[in-house]
Structure 1
Amino acid sequence: MNVEIPMEIHSDEKGYLDRQCPNENCLFEFKVNMQDWEDKVSDDEVHCPLCGQIAPSDSWYTYEQLDAMQEIATNWARNYTLGEIDKMFGSLARSTRNNKYIKITYKRNRPVTFVNNPIGAKEEWNLDITCEKCGTRYSVIGSAYFCPCCGYNSASNVFDNSMNTITKMVQSLDEMKATLTDQFDMDTAEAMCRSMLENSFGQVVSAFQKFAQCKFKEISGIEKRVNDFQMVDKGSQYFRNETGSGYEAFLSSDELIRMKLYFQRRHIIEHNTGIVDQKYIDNSGDNDYSVGQRIVVKTCEALDLITIIKKLSSGICTLI
């Protein structure tokens, strides 16, 4: 017997529908505007905003929605089964009412009321995103890399999310150090926070080089090696040759000098554990260190690098 039980899933107060990635290694939860889910999103292809998993639209129910649907189906089945039992034995009891040899009595089950309540939604979230390509509106906690409707990977959104995360991490190091000191000890907390601060240089450079590569491809149709944009002069020349504007169009000469210095420091931190060698001195012109010393990253320098890169990225976006 095939039975269809209509079930209604409500959106949150902003009109967004709860969804969850079916990839067991991801299970990322997100929301899609209900109207866009119905009008724009394909039945055959939905993309996870975090991992990029592609699956049909009926694969994206959250665990809470599936549990609610299971409960509704179970209640319907229990109600239906008891009703059928009442019919069968009630009829049998009536048929033997005047039989002097066999008499069957049947006490009817307590009626069960089947209530098909709509399935609710989680509270609305703060981060709402509109796809630059197809206009689909969706909401996430944390970061998103793909549009759930068309799968478009927005270099600008990914970059902005990355920079915001790095900025908050750097600004929160003192609070994190206090928490880590309570959990471990002062020495461990200091080492962990210093490592996070040093790694912030690499995180900023990685975010920028991917952003710059994607933006240059959008402008020129040419895909350059992502590592080319680790080299400030080379990346600037690419944009200058294609658009007439290099990095100097958006940064002051002093900001460009500091950007190059920070990029060189990032390189020596990642590839030589921060120990200064002659090649670093020759490439950077850094007079603050001698060969054999170790680079010390300051919070103000990390925030300065973030400010410079945000300013430059805003300028690059105007070239498109």
Structure 2
Amino acid sequence: METYSVDIKKDEEGYLGRECPECEKYFKIKPGTGIPDFADCYCPYCKKFAPQDHFWTKQQIEYAQSVVLNKVSGDILKMMKKVETKPKRNQFISIGITVKGNPTPITYYSEKELEEKVECKNCTLQYAIYGTFGYCPDCAAHNSQQIAEANFDLIIKILDLAKDASPDVKVKLIENGLEDCISVFDGFARERCCKQYPKLSFQNIYSAKQKLDESGINIPEGLNNSEWSFVVKQFQKRHLLAHKMGVVDEDYIKKTNGDHKQLGKKVSITETDVTTLIIHLKVIVSNISKHVERS
């Protein structure tokens, strides 16, 4: 039996489309990055493990089949062309053979655009997925901590823009920075803990700590009491921004041991507050990643 080799082309950025044989979700990898000569693959969504040749997309298979049919049908047409004959003149009966037709057309396709491009810190594979979080197709490392840290770093870059902004824009950028870094942390922690603690919210970090304490997980490990109290206070500031237009109320004063003179005034948030919070949250993110396995 004759065999055919078909080249499956990468997209303009060097990514190759993949499709999980289990959940049928689409992702891309960049060949040449990651583990050298890695023969098997993980699905970044469901963690299905199978040989690389199980991850061809339906479009790639259809394209490969059409290339082979194009080749075979083209060869058959060429062979039949060789037996073409024209009717002979001046004969009572003369039969001619004419071969018409074209090779089976090739079904072309293009790779899809995906939302998140990641370079795995563990094995350096470059891959692209829908959504934000996923497993590395090479080494199966989950990218939740890496994504969180990258977003924290982006917030710090945005805060740098506040230095040259007008006073009102500067205040808004700093407030947004505080809300954004807590949203990043909440998104990371929910994703990391969704199997063990599916209903746990991390926007109330004090309650989340108490819940995880029950499992022997000390999320502020490495932070002293003062640093932990600072983290809790910043989360309370975010609560004021989200629900009270940033105005200090009795609940905030009670939970932060604040000064009653601040009651009814706008809460104060500085760039240092946000950058220091990010430093402490990176410690907490590392602790959660270490103690909560995302499987």
State the superposition RMSD in angstroms.
5.3
Aligned equivalent of 1:7: 6
Aligned equivalent of 2:107: none
For residues 8 and 146 of structure 2, the distance between their equivalents in structure 1, rounded to whole angstroms, comes to 33
Alignment match of 2:177 (pick from 183, 193, 197)? 197
What percentage of aligned pairs have identical amino acids? Answer: 17
- Kindly state the Cα deviation for residue 282 of structure 1 after the two structures are TM-superposed: 0.9
Alignment match of 2:119 (pick from 104, 120, 127)? 127
8 A contact 1:18–1:62 mirrored in 2 = no
Q: Answer yes or no: is 1:79 the counterpart of 2:74.
A: yes
Aligned equivalent of 1:18: 16
Change (3 A) 1:75 1:198: same
For residues 192 and 85 of structure 1, the distance between their equivalents in structure 2, rounded to whole angstroms, comes to 76
Aligned equivalent of 1:227: 201
- SS at the partner of 2:126? strand
Q: Where does 1:230-269 land on structure 2 (aligned, <5 Å)?
A: 230-232=204-206, 235=209, 238-239=212-213, 242=216, 247=220, 249-269=221-241
8 A contact 1:146–1:153 mirrored in 2 = yes
- Kindly state the Cα deviation for residue 283 of structure 1 after the two structures are TM-superposed: 0.8
Aligned equivalent of 2:91: 100
For residues 168 and 313 of structure 1, the distance between their equivalents in structure 2, rounded to whole angstroms, comes to 16
8 A contact 2:145–2:286 mirrored in 1 = no
Aligned equivalent of 2:29: 30
- SS at the partner of 2:247? coil
Deviations 1:126-161 (A, max 9, x none): 713659xxxxx85324854235589x783xx30331
For residues 288 and 75 of structure 1, the distance between their equivalents in structure 2, rounded to whole angstroms, comes to 81
8 A contact 2:17–2:29 mirrored in 1 = yes
For residues 101 and 149 of structure 1, the distance between their equivalents in structure 2, rounded to whole angstroms, comes to 74
Aligned equivalent of 1:307: 279
8 A contact 1:265–1:295 mirrored in 2 = yes
Aligned equivalent of 2:186: 206
8 A contact 2:186–2:203 mirrored in 1 = no
The TM-score normalised by the length of structure 1 is 0.58
Deviations 1:52-107 (A, max 9, x none): 598997564396x5796477346425623531440442xx44xx669734567789
Aligned equivalent of 2:109: none
- Kindly state the Cα deviation for residue 281 of structure 1 after the two structures are TM-superposed: 1.3
The TM-score normalised by the length of structure 2 is 0.61
Structure with a larger share of its residues in helix: 1
- SS at the partner of 1:19? strand
Change (3 A) 1:187 1:210: same
For residues 269 and 260 of structure 2, the distance between their equivalents in structure 1, rounded to whole angstroms, comes to 12
- SS at the partner of 2:16? strand
Aligned equivalent of 1:140: 127
Q: Where does 1:156-175 land on structure 2 (aligned, <5 Å)?
A: 157-173=143-159
- Kindly state the Cα deviation for residue 313 of structure 1 after the two structures are TM-superposed: 3.4
Residues paired across the two proteins, number:
266
For residues 191 and 232 of structure 1, the distance between their equivalents in structure 2, rounded to whole angstroms, comes to 26
Stretches of structure 1 that go unaligned for 5 or more consecutive residues are 113-124, 132-136
For residues 253 and 267 of structure 2, the distance between their equivalents in structure 1, rounded to whole angstroms, comes to 12
For residues 162 and 94 of structure 2, the distance between their equivalents in structure 1, rounded to whole angstroms, comes to 79
8 A contact 2:121–2:146 mirrored in 1 = no
For residues 67 and 18 of structure 2, the distance between their equivalents in structure 1, rounded to whole angstroms, comes to 20
Stretches of structure 2 that go unaligned for 5 or more consecutive residues are 104-116
- SS at the partner of 1:226? coil
- Kindly state the Cα deviation for residue 238 of structure 1 after the two structures are TM-superposed: 4.0
8 A contact 1:163–1:207 mirrored in 2 = no
- Kindly state the Cα deviation for residue 280 of structure 1 after the two structures are TM-superposed: 1.1
For residues 17 and 56 of structure 2, the distance between their equivalents in structure 1, rounded to whole angstroms, comes to 5
